[in-house]
Chain A
Amino acid sequence: MSLVSAAFLGFILLAALVYYVIPGKARQVWLLILSIAFCCAGGFYTLVFVLISAVTTFTGGALSAKKTKPAIRNVFCAVTVIFNLALLVMVKFYGVMDLIADKLNYFFASGAQTSTFMLYAVPVGMSFYTLQMIGYVLDCRWERIAPEKNFLKYLLFATYFPYLTSGPMNTYAALSAELDKSKEVRFSITRLKEGSIRIAWGFLKKLVIAERAATLVNASYGDHKTYTGIYVLLGVISFAVQLYADFSGCMDVVLGTSHLLGIDLPENFNSPYLALSIREYWQRWHITLGSWLRDYLFYPILKTPLFIKIGDISRKAFGKKKGKKVPVYLAMLVLWFAVGYWHGGLWKYIIGSGLLHCFYIVSGMMAEPLFAKIRPVIRADKAYFKVFQIVRTFFLVLLGFVFFRSANLPDAIDMFRALVRSGGIAFDIEGIMGMGISLPDLYVLVLGVILLAAVDIFKYREKETDEPRSILELINKGGILAGWAVFVLLVLLVLVFGKYGLGYDSGAFIYARI
């Protein structure tokens, strides 16, 4: 079930209605029923995948936390983690799935051609899911939490339907505390209004902005001969708009839905395109993934005896200041390779979402002593320099996106070539319309991007760790009617300008495929 669909809206309505009618004690059971139903709607294989993952991590967590010898607990923990990673790799990589599907088709003599039924039956968004489940096992092993004793409660954590397809990623400690709030939560008009506004805003981002930007993206990425020069730039920037509107719009629907139920999930975005550096960008973009990787991969790598030893050797070789950075650089390499690989196992992801960003961050760290000398000379504390930093960071992010969106590595390189290639059509309004977008649609897209940027600029705080300004608080200041007026306006905008309806298949969320 797509999160941006009439079916999902009906699902939320039913979920919330019953949720607030039944006694508090029964709500977690209701949420579990809904979540299992949501899994079933995702297909039989989604349910099987989720159940296998839930049972193994629940058992693995309990065995990893038992008061036995650390070595035995390590074995239980490692077996559970490896099993779940293997399960993810198996369902993610279609080559393997094709093989299984072919066998199954053959076995069932269904007559289906090759593997299509399995191809679409594999669970979506399961990368987030698997990492989160692995996080639970590691939390038990590292004694951050006591293992959950009630399997049904754990199953709710594992299947909670709002976040199941695209995140955000949760820790068990945080989400179980939120889920416990369901017993006490009372219906409130304010919560209904806030959740509804957030869901409508998510729909607007996806159906009005992302789907229009997709037209320009598909044209420019699809034809490097016709669309050269500025068209390439237009396509690349449009993809940055599409991906952000798509992914953050999805998160708005997820967080808005959960907020309706009185269960608050962590934010995944914080004005990412206003980051001053790539390091800051990753603290503002896909925040929960960054936190997971830091806590469960980066820190544990750096704390291994091998990396501590490397640190000792490099300090002796390069001095204290430079030497202590060597293990960090190496751990970064492992981390960013994993980030890229996690996005889909293809080189375009490993480079575009992984190693390229590693290069940005590590080279920035290496050049820091030089930057420290230059900054006072060029008066880097002035506003102009911050604007330069924002533009530069955005440009570096765009380079990565070219790899991410292209069909493969050679295609990405051809896209860069198209930027300087001559022979394409002239850049004018007719040329842009030739990409498949009408003039009114173009206006709507531009206005949508301005609105998106205005909201992000309003929310922006210079320190990425500070709580962003709340647009809902601003709306609430206008009184109850102002809130509902904003909601009605957003709904109208979606109804009038949204790309939906009979015969129109809104694209799946980009990150749901991850």
Chain B
Amino acid sequence: MTREEVYGKLNEVFQDVFDDEDIEVNDGTTSADVDGWDSLEHINLIVAVERTFGIKFTMGETTGLKNVGEMVDKIIAHLG
């Protein structure tokens, strides 16, 4: 799966979890940029991403991601 394809699916996940069809994420997007992405919603997002891509993040990855770019890197690594 290419990075663009990952982003295509990932945008849908973000739009669904945060109930906002206008969300478009990129490498630099952080929790501060997305309305509602707080510590309580974070796990919902992680589980939704895992299900969409059929992968399983480690706990280290779950809490250690700095931005969406890193999340995409990890998704690609898990898929690879």
Contact = CB atoms under 8 A, between A and B. Distances in A.
Contacts of B2: none
A143 interface: yes
A465 B60 contact: no
B40 A295 contact: no
Interface string B29-60: 00010000001101110110000000000111
Given A311-B47, A324-B44, A465-B32, A303 B39 contact: no
A300 B43 CA distance: 9
A112 to B, nearest CB: 47
A328 interface: yes
Interface in A455-471: 465
A372 to B, nearest CB: 12
B13 to A, nearest CB: 13
B63 interface: yes
A306 B80 CA distance: 28
B32 A299 contact: no
A144 interface: yes
Nearest to B31: A465
A365 B47 CA distance: 21
B44 to A, nearest CB: 5
Nearest to B63: A295
Contacts of B64: 144
A365 B40 CA distance: 11
Contacts of A294: 39, 63
Given A321-B19, A465-B32, A299 B60 contact: no
A278 to B, nearest CB: 13
Nearest to B39: A294
B40 A328 contact: yes
Nearest to B32: A465
Interface residues of A, number: 19
A303 B60 contact: no
A465 B64 CA distance: 16
Contact of B60 (A143, A308, A311): A143
Given A142-B60, A144-B60, A311-B47, A299 B42 contact: yes
Interface centre among B40, B47, B62 (most CB of A within 10 A): B40
Nearest to A141: B59
Interface in A256-300: 294-295, 298-300
Given A294-B39, A295-B63, A299-B42, A143 B47 contact: no
Nearest to A302: B43
Contacts of A302: 43
Contacts of A252: none
B47 A299 contact: no
Contacts of A299: 42-43, 59, 62-63
Nearest to B51: A308
A211 interface: no
Contact of A142 (B19, B44, B59): B59
B58 A143 contact: yes
Contacts of B43: 299, 302-303, 328
B11 to A, nearest CB: 18
B18 to A, nearest CB: 11
B52 to A, nearest CB: 14
Contact of A303 (B19, B32, B40, B46): B46
Nearest to B43: A302
Contacts of A303: 43, 46-47, 59, 62
> Which 7 A-B residue pairings sit nearest by Cβ, starting from the closest?
A144-B60, A142-B59, A302-B43, A142-B60, A295-B63, A143-B60, A328-B40
Given A138-B59, A139-B60, 8 more contacts: A143-B58, A143-B60, A294-B63, A295-B63, A299-B43, A303-B62, A308-B47, A328-B40
Interface of B: 19, 32, 39-40, 42-44, 46-47, 58-60, 62-64
28 contacts: A142-B58, A142-B59, A142-B60, A143-B58, A144-B59, A144-B60, A144-B63, A144-B64, A294-B39, A294-B63, A295-B63, A298-B39, A299-B42, A299-B43, A299-B59, A299-B62, A299-B63, A300-B59, A303-B43, A303-B47, A303-B59, A303-B62, A308-B47, A311-B47, A321-B19, A324-B44, A365-B40, A465-B32
